[in-house]
Structure 1
Amino acid sequence: MTIVDETTTPPCAYEPDVYLDDLLHSPPARTDLSAADWERLTTKQAAAHRQCAGCPLMVECLYRAVVEMDVSGFVACTTESDRLAIRRRLGIEIHEPTTVAYGAARVGGGPVSHEAVMTARQAYPKDTCHQLADRLGCSTSTIKRHLRRARERKRDDALSPASAPARPSVADVLDVFDELESSRTA
């Protein structure tokens, strides 16, 4: 008797470092990299994109990352800015639940304030989240959390509370995804 395992493990589970690489979800400008570094980056982007696009969970992953939760990293062939563009186009608003902070406490000068993160972002707009975290002596997730909060505040200020859009279909999300320049990569 042969037992067949029907579970599918996505490529991001095998190589999480590839999909969480700051350069994939916040790529620097072409002029900021040497030709060799740019070639390595585009090769890495194309490889991650091909693996994502070939994953049987890609459609579900894309829908959840766009409609249900705000995630970091390269997810379902999209960057954070790609997913934000899809949400804007479809009128989707993500509200993260406010829960108790998790993870280890920061050792040293106490928590990093939202204002400190935003000031550092203005002073160093081309820095990756990792570089900003190094500058401020905190974790990358802290930087991402504060930047996400700033985006949400800006978005909340722009939207009226009466505009609660209906949840889009999978087909709606895929149609907007297909219009992205990044969906044609690889």
Structure 2
Amino acid sequence: MTIVNDIAAPPCTREPVFRDERLYAGANELDAASRAGLGEILAQAHRRCAGCPMLVDCLYRAVVEVDVSGFVACTTEADRASIRDSLGIVVDANQSGSYGPARLGAGPVSHEAVLAARTAHPKDTCQQLAERLGCSTSTIKRHLRRARAEAEQQASALAAVADLPRRIPSVDEVLDAFDSLESSQLA
């Protein structure tokens, strides 16, 4: 018996370029040698991502629904933050929940341990921090995302004038904001 799978997996699930750690690190986190090839890696990822039939749904979810890290839907974290700023929306980082099974071994890595490791080794990539702490890179990213969200939440709490209902932009508004990004021209 032969099983035929008619649904093609998106490029991000099968292409090696999407596993490049440099796509998940901020430009400030990379040393000069790592930054050297970043432009070509980004351009290659943009080309593969732009041809995906799921791009519009992926972009909308990454901008409006979930604060995902790394390169998603032809955007970096900075690109998505810029889109959110232009649309006047905020995504609660705590909405994303937990991903994957708990790690085995010495128990969970504490939030404080991840932040301490980042402070002690600011130039380490997420993968290097994960190896230091004996956890996955997604755990490191989740804790760093949480730290950023907490800092942003404190800043916005100070700046908040009134509790306004959360604005939900349309798909067209997100696409227009995406089109205005300089990086969207790479795709």
Task: Indicate the larger mover: 98-107 or 69-78.
Answer: 98-107
TM-score (norm 1): 0.78
Q: 1:140 aligned to 2:137?
A: yes
Deviation at 1:164, TM superposition (A): 3.1
| Aligned pairs (5 A) from 1:76-155 | 76-95=73-92, 96-97=94-95, 102-108=100-106, 110-155=107-152
Q: Please tell me the residue identity of whatever aligns with 1:127.
A: D
| Aligned pairs (5 A) from 1:51-62 | 51-62=48-59
- Cα–Cα, structure 1 residues 174 and 42, in superposed 2: closer, same or farther, change >3 Å? same
Q: Please tell me the residue identity of whatever aligns with 2:110.
A: S
Aligned residue number for residue 174 of structure 1: 175
In the alignment, structure 2 segments of 5+ residues that lack a partner are none
In the alignment, structure 1 segments of 5+ residues that lack a partner are none
Decide whether the 8 Å contact of 2:89 with 2:166 is kept in 1.
yes
Decide whether the 8 Å contact of 2:29 with 2:124 is kept in 1.
no
- Cα–Cα, structure 1 residues 150 and 72, in superposed 2: closer, same or farther, change >3 Å? same
SS of residue paired to 1:156: helix
Q: Which runs of 4+ in 1 moved over 6 A?
A: none
Task: Indicate the larger mover: 124-133 or 23-32.
Answer: 23-32
SS of residue paired to 1:118: helix
Between Structure 1 and Structure 2, how many residues are aligned?
178
- Cα–Cα, structure 1 residues 169 and 98, in superposed 2: closer, same or farther, change >3 Å? closer
Q: Distance in 1 between matches of 2:25 and 2:44?
A: 16
Q: Report the aligned-residue RMSD.
A: 2.9
Deviation at 1:140, TM superposition (A): 0.9
